[in-house]
Structure 1
Amino acid sequence: MSDSQDGGGVMASEDRKLLEKMLFSTIQEQRRARRWSIFFRFLFFLWLFALVGSIMFSVGGGVTGKQTPAEYTALIDVKGAIAADKDANADSIVTGLRKAFDDEKVRGVILRINSPGGSPVQAAYIFDEVNRLKETRPEIKVYAVIADVGASAAYYIAAAADDIYANRGSVVGSIGAYMATFGFEGAMEKLGVTRRFYGSGDHKALTDPFQPEDKVAAKHLRATVKNIHDQFVESVKEGREGRLKDNPDLFTGLIWTGQQALELGLVDGLGSPGYVAREVIGHEDIVDFTVKPGFFDRFAQKVGSSAAQALGVSLGLEGPAVR
């Protein structure tokens, strides 16, 4: 065989390999395109399903399984941590309250509370709005009913009600405020890690856990937390005027059972939302005015972003919290 024939065979073989490679690449691109097409179709249908679900489940109000009665008791849930980015946020709760007070069929309002506390600011917003709404319709009474727990900022909200009810085993109280952080400067020194912080203002890094505690800033923070506590105490005294017992431990952050809270004047009676609607308000039919979060909000919370935020609240990393 001649050299030219050998060279032609090699070139033909290389051409085939190149052609095969091109064909294989084309097939891969087609497969990849199909996968992306399926993926985006799936996302579209997921979005469509979420949109329909959000419309169906986000609308509060109404009596499930029965015709709406002529007159009824309005119910608004205060559930979980109280914070601007949680279900128990001031905007949602205030919206539910306003809808209830605007409804001419409502004969009483129940705030069903099951919360360990949270933001003093969110609680104060709700406290003030409850008092404002009661002035618009004096005949409509607001009742707070504490389930498992109504502590700290949750009790702050409850104090705005005309009367507070709880179960004998409910956890009630925790009238206090705190701010918590960490100090890692010792651990950093042992690890040989140097902190570099650039800022302006003598106390700009007052809560930086990687630097030694600033004594002046610490004194200021204690005064700030005390001021928040004083505001809390003032609101509770305003809401519970004449009903609180003279007990030196009342505003120290301690908690009590519902039975103990009744003896201290922190609650007015023992009972459930159904009991209050039936025996106190006189209208046992309950219509839920709680503003429900949309599908995407619920989904995002379950995915995990809320877990990190809840951890931050629990550890006191999100600033002062009335709890």
Structure 2
Amino acid sequence: MGAGHDHGRQVARAGEKHRGRLWAAFALLATFMLVEAVGAWVTGSLALLSDAGHMFTDVLGIGMALAAITAASRASRDGQRTFGLYRMEVLAALANAVLLSGVALYVLVEALRRFDDPPEVLVGPMLAVAVGGLVANVVAFLLLRAGSTESLNVRGAYLEVLGDLIASVGVLVAAGVIALTGWWYADPIVAVGVGLFILPRTYRLARAALRVLVQAAPPHVDVAEVRDGLRGLDGVADVHDLHVWTLTSGMEVASAHLTLDTGADLAPVLAAARQMLHDRFRIEHATLQVEPRDAEGVCGGAHW
């Protein structure tokens, strides 16, 4: 038994009404990401390059939100994809983390090299691009703010943009300091700050994605407590072959074999198990196999 398809439709409905705002924010930030990358190359600003890399996290984050909404709405259209395309979000997150780690490390190494002899940068174009990047982030922030309270995926994209706002302010400060004082060290210092801001976030993103891909139990779920909760239900004598994992962000899945007491009524036990998993552990999709006591040991469970 389970509620996987219902939850897929809930994911789709929660984000569907914000799809237009997500696409607008995606297009805006993707455009300014390219502007900042070109601006970094033209001006020689490492701070702009680091902010372009950080803005890339926003574009990927919003792209993953859109992909998750689309996957949720198409989850049941292909009979061979019994769990839909939810894992695409996780694979994209891992690729994002790997790529951004490379960008952040490059920025840090280049910044350290520049501390010996900081090169001049074209302050006027750098300042103009920094202002444009800040405006783009503010607009994207406003576009996503309403949906952040209703959809997990929109909230993730919203938090990405919020983080990039901080980086954009840092680049603007660096440009202003250079323009007013000619202190070229401001550029690599801000670049290091943004790089150090990116690395912990990419580490957490990669760790979360790998945890999903290796099918580990979600951090907020104690498997022993799940087993004890199922065993404590009226009519349940034992629990075995229990597995809990994450399909994609916000979608926890479980499977288990329940051995029933003699004379236990099947329907109430299943209903109670489903309700308990939902209320205590936020597990929306559970596949539960029930067995009478005399079938114990011959159910054919996996022995991995």
Settle same-fold status: TM greater than 0.5.
no
Greater gyration radius: 1
Tell me the TM-score normalised to structure 2 length.
0.23
Of the two structures, which has the highest relative contact order with CA contacts closer than 8 Å and spacing of 6 or more? 1
Tell me the TM-score normalised to structure 1 length.
0.22
Q: Which has the higher helix share?
A: 2
